[in-house]
Amino acid sequence: MSKFKFAMYWAGSCGGCEIALLEIQAKIIEVDQNYDVVFWPAAADFKYKDVEGYDDGYIDVCLFNGCIRNSENEHLANLLRAKSKVLVAFGACATMGGIPGLANLSSAQEIKDLVYTQTPSVDNPDKVYPQERFTVPEGELDLPHMYDTVKTLEQTVDVDYFMPGCPPEAHQIAGVLDVVTAALKGEGELPPKGATIGVAPKSCCDECERVKDEKKIAGFRRIWEFFPDREKCLLEQGVICMGPATAAGCGARCTSVGMACRGCYGPPEGVVDQGAKMLSTLASIIDAPDPDEIARIAATVPDPVGTFYRFGLASSLLRRARV
Amino acid sequence: MAEEKIGVYICHCGTNIGGKVDVEEVTKWAATQPNVAVAREYKYMCSDPGQDLIKNDIKELGITRAVVAACSPTMHEPTFRKAASDGGLNPYLLQMANIREHCSWVTIDPVAATAKAKRILSAQIHRLPLNEPLEPIEVPVNHDVLVVGGGIAGIEAALKLSATGKHVTLVERNPSIGGHMAMFDKTFPTLDCAACILTPKMSALGKDPNITLMAYSEVEYVEGYVGNFTVKVRKKARYVNTDICTGCGACQEACVVRKVKSEFDQGLGFRSAIYIPFAQAVPLRATIDPAKCLTLSKGKCKQQTCVSACGPGAIDFEQKDEVVELDVGAIIMATGFELWDAAQETRYGYGRLDNVITSLEFERISNASGPTGGEIVCKNGEAPKSVVILHCVGSRDQNYQEFCSRVCCMYSLKFSHLIKEHLPETEVYELYIDMRCFGKNYEEFYRRLMDEGVNFVRGRAAEVTDVALSPDEEGRLVVKTEDTLLGIVRRIPADMVILSAGLSPAHDAKEVSQIFGFGCSANGFYLERHPKLEPVATVTDGIFIAGCCQYPKDIPDTVAQAGAAAAGVLGLVDNDTVKVEPTISYIDPEKCSGCHICVGLCPHNAIQYNEEKNAAEVIEAACKGCGVCVSACGSNVPQQRGYLDVQIFAEIEGALAV
Ligand SMILES: Cc1cc2nc3c(=O)[nH]c(=O)nc-3n(C[C@H](O)[C@H](O)[C@H](O)COP(=O)(O)OP(=O)(O)OC[C@H]3O[C@@H](n4cnc5c(N)ncnc54)[C@H](O)[C@@H]3O)c2cc1C
Ligand code: SF4
Ligand code: SF4
Ligand code: SF4
């Protein structure tokens, strides 16, 4: 039997998703038994030209991680969409924009100004910026164009499945690969198109082992400011834990080691905007009668956008700040 | 989604809407909107012919959804939903678009108002296809009633309900019922003897077989919903077995601790550590004050004279608080008021200057059974030659309570009369801002007092001082005030100054309202459901309010409210079942993660945690559909019927589509 064709691509992201795939450990051998890798720049030497040469739909399954941050990401998104039967937005950046999505608080120029001229360690009196085009004796070189707005994969091309996580957990990846492989072999069904896969039905709190009680918060704290109780719900202790507004599926790994959930698995089913939802939740449990006290407590929220939209700004109702 | 046929009905509301919104234009536009089968306008949609338009279109055109663009849903949503239902359409398939309060009344430019009316209507047209038919929920009703507070309001309500055969439990915080009225000598404007009209009611209540009186008790916990409340009442230990105590009072005569300031006498008289607060107390039973009793506070009282004095042997130092659980179908709150703390207004010297007293203290001084035996005297035992009564102390004051306390003008007049009656030679001054004598025979009473020679000075006192500037002021109090009618500043020497302090919400009104799950107004009094049409109901179905806990009022109004609350309760507990609104929330246990966020937040105690399913649960009959849980849940698990996320998003899209 000929093997199925597998591709993985790394757009605007940190590379963690690529490593996460290897976290499935021995199972990677099964992948090798079932699939031929036809494109995976992080692991094997393929050129874009190779992909361009494939027939449309040649790739059976493509795990696309990373957000669409520049013209190269966009080109590959379009290319891989055309060449893949099943295109999976893999990881928080591809599904929601991820941490790079926070760049939507600034314009591309503002970011370049900061990086190339304003940071304390930069010495750049002539204000030299990287150029998109540069002529060398051998010919003309060009760099991808960086967009003002970070987009999700779905905001760029049609996507078959969404698999959140920063990065997706190994057991979920293994589970998803099993389902896809079985379906390709005709031994099972694919989930309905557009489904979020590799998650569990409820919110992260469901998998969190901490003891939960009614929540009343008189002030927010960060984890380094005190020794949190090991048994009690972190939110009850004033640590902003995104668990209530985050899909389960990760096994609540962060909260089990005393770190608050940061929301990388995205909103649970039925929630449109993760950050807004979490804000609404927190507003409901602030325990103070008078407006001044409430304002004082609210002001103790560290970095609101970065907290509530750490992964989801690009896919939120807000999308971005005005430039 | 099946193809829907929407009927749109746009009301002119006379010129209320029609005078600002171009109704004809909106109607023409509405006819072109998605799913709209018919769009009509009418002068008064709430009239019978207006309602018939909807009924006929349901029957003849087969419309499957309807929207009435008219006034606020709080005004006429029930009217039109009833019309829809009469026409054969599920009432929850009809929506209101508020183009009056939200549009014509608050928009100046007619063009803008017309555009806004379209947006408001468009929101409803977009959401209507997503509406689901809903059925009211029917729950059984417990016929028993709880009344909280045993002032005149609670007494009256309990007696009224008992007369209809209902069983009532009355919970009073103090050792005796009676409230403030029991402290008065006379009542304005008729000058009835307060005791003569109150004590018969108190004793009737004490003997009523349909009424269980739980005095010296407080409600600690309330759970449940209309028709089905479960209440926990703490019966505080009296250290006296009330089953055998006869109320003879021998113990209080015998007690070695005799100089405890009497609460009932406003600290002007004394009681013992074991006491009966006043002679007509109901229940007429002794209570030991554990903070003052030597046995209870210090562990030693050599003689324990009370024990030997008590014939039946009722004293029981081992007695413990007891928590009693009750099931009732409805509740009346009648927890009354507290006098505003006059010490806050330091310039009047209360607590610093002798003979500056509060109105309640004067009530006790003028009372024949009070600490002075009804003699109006100063601290030194002499009759005052001049008395000044300051109105509006703590009332109508931006620094304290902005509102008018409504009864102080009148009780001040009563005081003047009592002084003039006892001491005809004494000069009496009333310093007022406005005289508010609004009730039946009140203005006449005021006129009578003018004839009795009382000096009415229009002005708010600036200060009460004991610094004399003339021989006449030496050793006396002086009230400095502007006389705004004469346009001069006056110094009025006085031997007694009465502060007519305002009426305040009970110090714990807010906490108590939270125990019962309804709210307080901004001024701290219990919040009624509607200021005009539902003055004795609260937002929590089955809980009513009466008397001064709602707002300051006189005895006639208090009694009237008590009757109204009793009627409201009766209209409920006289039935076997009650229908509750189905626009409530529900929680899918398959989606709930059990995070507990919503559990403590429900203001109506409608959410409980099901340990077996590991999920929160909404008690249908208790849920008021407030939406708190919906917005609190991080996973959007609680969804409120009639206000589903999809419906609200559709409304937003509709509003933005125009
Ligand atoms: C100085 C003065 C003189 C007045 N003179 C007149 C007059 O002459 N004529 C007139 O018409 N009106 C007069 N009024 C007004 C009159 O006092 C009120 O209209 C009347 O007392 C209101 O009755 P109520 O039952 O609402 O409240 P209250 O009399 O305050 O009774 C409330 C009762 O509830 C109890 N209670 C409170 N909280 C709780 C709780 N949590 N649980 C259980 N029990 C509780 C209290 O102990 C009290 O027994 C006067 C008021 C004042 C201040
Ligand atoms: S009733 Fe009279 S004295 Fe009392 S607050 Fe109102 S105006 Fe002032
Ligand atoms: S909507 Fe939720 S919070 Fe509000 S009454 Fe119902 S259950 Fe309670
Ligand atoms: S807030 Fe939501 S997830 Fe949490 S217990 Fe309530 S319904 Fe369940």
Residues A163 and A38 in one domain: yes
Phi, psi of B97 (to 5 degrees): -115, 115
Question: Minimum-distance ligand to the CA of B431?
Answer: 2
Q: What is the pLDDT of residue B604?
A: 81
**Nearest-angstrom CA–CA distance, B377 and B496:** 9
Q: What residue ranges line ligand 2, CB within 6 angstroms? A: B 391-392, 395-396, 404-409, 434, 436, 500, 502
Q: Which residue(s) pair with B240 in the sheet?
A: B315
Domain boundary among A159, A184, A209: A184
A262 and A216 housed in the same domain: yes
Does one domain contain both A70 and A11?
Answer: yes
Question: Is B362 a residue whose pLDDT tops 60?
Answer: yes
* One domain, residues A160 and A18: yes
Instruction: Please say if the pLDDT value at position B346 is more than 70.
Output: yes
Pairwise CB contact (< 8 Å): B596 & A215: yes
Which contiguous run of DSSP H or E holds residue B55? helix B48-56
- pLDDT of residue A1 exceeding 80, the answer is no
Separation CA A203–CA A219 (nearest Å):
24
The answer on A288 and A222 residing in a single domain is yes
Closest C-alpha to A206, from B600, B612, B592, B635: B592
Kindly report the average pLDDT of chain A as a whole number.
Answer: 95
A159 plus A239 within the same structural domain: no
Q: Is B604 in the pocket of ligand 3 (CB under 6 A)?
A: yes
Asked if residue A317 belongs to a domain, the reply is no
**B637: which chain A residues are within 8 Å (Cβ-Cβ)?**
270
CB contact under 8 A, B595 and A269: no
Report whether pLDDT(B234) > 60.
yes
Q: Which of A205, A210, A250, A261 should be substituted to probe chain B, the one whose Cβ sees the most B Cβ atoms within 10 Å? A: A205
> B49-93: per-residue pLDDT in tens?
999 999 999 999 999 999 999 999 988 998 999 999 999 999 999
- The answer to whether B455 touches B428, Cβ cutoff 8 Å, is yes
Asked if A201's CB is within 8 angstroms of B597's CB, the reply is: no
Q: What is the mean pLDDT of residues A264-270?
A: 96
Instruction: Among B590, B602, B635, pick the best mutation site for testing chain A contact (most A Cβ within 10 A).
Output: B635
Chain B residues closer than 8 Å to A272 by CB: 645, 649
Ligand of minimum distance to the alpha carbon of A202: 4
Give me B595's structure tokens: 């995070």
Range of the domain at A284: 200-308
B255 CB within 6 A, ligand 3: no
What the block records as the tokens of A272 is 């449109």
Q: Are residues A71 and A135 in the same domain?
A: no
Considering the domain architecture, whether residues A143 and A162 belong to the same structural domain is answered as no
Mutate to test the interface with B, among A214, A237, A284 (most CBs of B within 10 A): A284
Identify whether residues A139 and A58 lie together within a single domain.
Answer: no
Domain co-membership, A123 together with A91: no
The CATH class for the domain spanning B582-641 reads alpha beta
d(CA B516, CA B609): 19
Question: What fold does the segment set B6-134 form as a domain?
Answer: Rossmann fold (3.40.50)
> B613 CA to chain A: closest CA distance, Å?
12
pLDDT at A181 > cutoff 60: yes
Superfamily name with CATH number, domain B338-504: FAD/NAD(P)-binding domain (3.50.50.60)
Rounded distance, CA B47 to CA B83, Å? 11
Q: Please indicate if any CB of chain B lies within 8 Å of the CB of A290.
A: no
Q: Say if residue B277's pLDDT is above 60.
A: yes
pLDDT band at A126 (very low <50, low <70, confident <90, very high): very high
Ranges of H-type helices in chain A: 16-22, 27-34, 48-53, 71-83, 91-96, 108-113, 170-184, 204-207, 253-256, 274-285, 291-298, 304-308
Do the beta carbons of residue B329 and residue B542 sit within 8 Å? yes
**Range B515-531 average pLDDT:** 93
Per-residue pLDDT tens over the stretch B291-333? 999 999 999 998 899 999 999 999 999 999 999 999 999 999 9
| Domain positions in chain B | 6-134, 250-309, 338-504, 582-641
Q: B395 and B436 in contact (C-beta within 8 Å)? A: no
pLDDT of residue B2: 60
> What ipTM is given for this predicted complex?
0.91
* CATH code: domain of residue A25: 3.40.50.700
- Nearest C-alpha in B relative to A234: B595
A203 chain-B contacts, CB cut-off 8 A: 593, 595, 634-635
Distance from CA of B399 to the nearest CA of A (A): 18
CA separation, residue B318 to residues B305, B308, B315, B613 (Å): 17, 17, 9, 44
The answer to whether the bond into A167 is cis (omega within 30° of 0) is yes
Nearest bound ligand to the CA of residue B498: 1
* Cα separation of the two ends of chain A: 54
Q: Whose CA is nearest to atom 6 of ligand 3?
A: B623
Average pLDDT of every residue of chain B: 96
In this model, does residue A184 exceed pLDDT 90?
A: yes
Query: What average pLDDT does range B284-290 have in this prediction?
Result: 97
CA of A65 to the centre of ligand 1 (A): 71
The total of structural domains in chain A comes to 3
Check whether residue A120 and residue A176 sit in a common domain: no
Q: What pLDDT is attached to residue A302?
A: 86
Q: Is B249 left (phi over 0), alpha (psi -120 to 50) or beta?
A: left
In a domain, A195, yes or no: no
Q: Which residues of B fall within a CB distance of 8 Å from A287?
A: none
